[in-house]
Amino acid sequence: MGDTVQQFFAVKAKIAAAEQEAGREAGAVTLVAVSKTFDAFDIQPVIEAGQRVFGENRIQEAQGKWPALKKAFPDIELHLIGPLQSNKAREAVALFDVIEIIDRDKIAAELAKEIARQGRAPKLYVQVNTGSEPQKAGIEPREAVAFVKRCREVHGLAIEGLMCIPPADENPGPHFALLEKMAREAGVAKLSMGMSGDYEIAIAFGATSVRVGSAIFGNR
């Protein structure tokens, strides 16, 4: 068994332990294996080990490897977790099953148009910039609940979750707690939060999915 597959099973075991520790149901948390920068050859052993949910940052990179993998494994669910320009909405809706990075009206409007045009309905999340970091994507926390409402009422989008990436140099706990509070206020059930360094903490704060890359695939 290769290192990647062993690391995958180790992450799965830690997720199960964190669920139990937090008093969550077994299987309450979905592992999104972040396969950005890794090619199909690296990803396939993890698929064969049973993983079906993957995350990618860049549309162009994903287009190069996932159509063939999705054909071979039709039950794969692919998440877009990196920034999206409005002119790439067509490609995003065509390829991804979950789009986690809606953070402004222009993107919401373009996605709504493409969803109607293509007849595909990816699951949708709003990204919140919980640390208000100027260099990072995501809507400001104070605007998030109103933005979810606007996505639903103005753009007709069925938002089902919130996503965040806490500042690298801060304790992630308060950011996860803030996202959970906003999700309750906005009436959304899903929380995409927690990455390789902090996913066990995120599970304690109510994450329904965690995005883990380097702990499975190693560093590129």
CA 46 – CA 34 distance, rounded (Å): 11
Q: What is the DSSP string of 12-67?
A: HHHHHHHHHHTTPPTT-SEEEEE-TT--HHHHHHHHHTT--EEEES-HHHHHHHHH
Q: What is the pLDDT of residue 133?
A: 97
**CA nearest 193: which of 174, 182, 208?**
208
Predicted confidence (pLDDT) per residue in 51-60, tens digit: 999 999 999 9
Give the per-residue SS3 of 93-118.
HHHCCEEEEECCHHHHHHHHHHHHHH
The whole-number mean pLDDT for each consecutive block of 10 residues of the chain, a chain of 220 residues, reads 92 98 98 96 96 97 96 97 96 98 98 98 98 96 98 98 97 98 98 98 98 93
**Amino acid type, 128:** V
Q: What is the pLDDT of residue 1?
A: 64
Q: What is the pLDDT of residue 124?
A: 98
Q: What is the pLDDT of residue 220?
A: 72
DSSP E strands in 137-214: the ranges are 159-164, 190-192, 209-212
Average pLDDT, the chain: 97
The pTM is what?
0.97
Q: What is the pLDDT of residue 2?
A: 80
Q: What is the pLDDT of residue 219?
A: 86
